[in-house]
Amino acid sequence: MHLTFLGTSAGRPTRTRNVTSIALSLPEPQCAFWLFDAGEGTQHRMLGTKLKLNKLERIFITHMHGDHINGLPGLLSSRSYFEGAGPLAIYGPTGLSSYLNGIFELTGVHLNYELNVIEISAGEVVADDRYIVEAAELQHRMPCFGYRITERPQFGQLNLRRLAELNVPPGPWYGRLKRGEDVALQDGRTIRASDVVGDMQPGRVVTILGDTRPCGNAVLLAKQADLLVHEATFAGGLEEKAASYGHSTFAQAAETARDAGAKRMIVTHFSSRYDDEQVAELANGVKEIFAGIEPAVEMIDFHVSKPSRTSEG
Comparing C-alpha atoms, which of 270, 267, 269, 265 is closest to residue 228? 265
Are 138 and 283 in the same domain?
yes
Domain presence at residue 73: yes
Domain presence at residue 87: yes
According to DSSP, the β-strands at 123-127 and 115-119 are: unpaired
Are 102 and 180 in the same domain?
no
Contact 34, 24 (CB under 8 A): yes
What is the C-alpha to C-alpha distance for residues 25 and 35, in angstroms, rounded to an integer?
A: 9
What is the C-alpha to C-alpha distance for residues 96 and 121, in angstroms, rounded to an integer?
A: 13
> Domain range for residue 128?
2-153+202-303
pLDDT for 85-139, tens place per residue?
899 999 999 999 999 999 999 999 889 999 999 999 999 999 998 999 999 999 9
Domain presence at residue 109: yes
Are 112 and 176 in the same domain?
no
110 annotated to a ligand binding site: no
Cα 235 to Cα 15, 137, 210, distances in angstroms: 20, 24, 18
Q: Of 170, 196, 222, which residue constitutes the final position of a domain? A: 196
Q: Which of 67, 128, 187, 259 is catalytic?
A: 67
Cα end-to-end span (Å), the chain: 22
Domain presence at residue 309: no
Domain presence at residue 308: no
What is the C-alpha to C-alpha distance for residues 232 and 268, in angstroms, rounded to an integer?
A: 6
Tell me the CATH number at 274. Answer: 3.60.15.10
Are 34 and 89 in the same domain?
yes
Are 131 and 273 in the same domain?
yes
Domain presence at residue 311: no
Lowest mean pLDDT among 38-47, 58-67, 191-200, 303-312: 303-312
> Could you tell me what percent of the chain has a pLDDT over 90?
77
211 annotated to a ligand binding site: yes
Are 192 and 213 in the same domain?
no
Are 222 and 258 in the same domain?
yes
According to the model, what pLDDT value does residue 157 have? 77
pLDDT for 214-245, tens place per residue?
999 999 999 999 999 999 999 999 999 999 99
Are 13 and 85 in the same domain?
yes
Domain presence at residue 44: yes
Are 192 and 281 in the same domain?
no
Domain presence at residue 313: no
Q: Of 196, 218, 248, which residue constitutes the final position of a domain? A: 196
According to the model, what pLDDT value does residue 185 have? 82
Q: Choose between 311 and 198: higher pLDDT.
A: 198
Comparing C-alpha atoms, which of 284, 289, 288, 278 is closest to residue 256? 289
Are 45 and 174 in the same domain?
no
Taking 80 as the threshold, does the pLDDT of residue 8 lie above it?
Answer: yes
According to DSSP, the β-strands at 265-268 and 227-231 are: parallel
Bridge partners of residue 187, in order along the sequence: none
Q: Of 145, 176, 196, which residue constitutes the final position of a domain? A: 196
For the question of residue 301 being annotated catalytic, the response is: no
Q: pTM for the complete prediction? A: 0.87
According to the model, what pLDDT value does residue 158 have? 80
Comparing C-alpha atoms, which of 49, 46, 52 is closest to residue 32? 52
Are 32 and 168 in the same domain?
no
Rounded (10°) CA dihedral 285, 286, 290, 293: -60
Taking 50 as the threshold, does the pLDDT of residue 293 lie above it?
Answer: yes
Are 122 and 43 in the same domain?
yes
pLDDT for 259-272, tens place per residue?
999 999 999 999 99
Number of domains in the chain: 2
Taking 70 as the threshold, does the pLDDT of residue 313 lie above it?
Answer: no
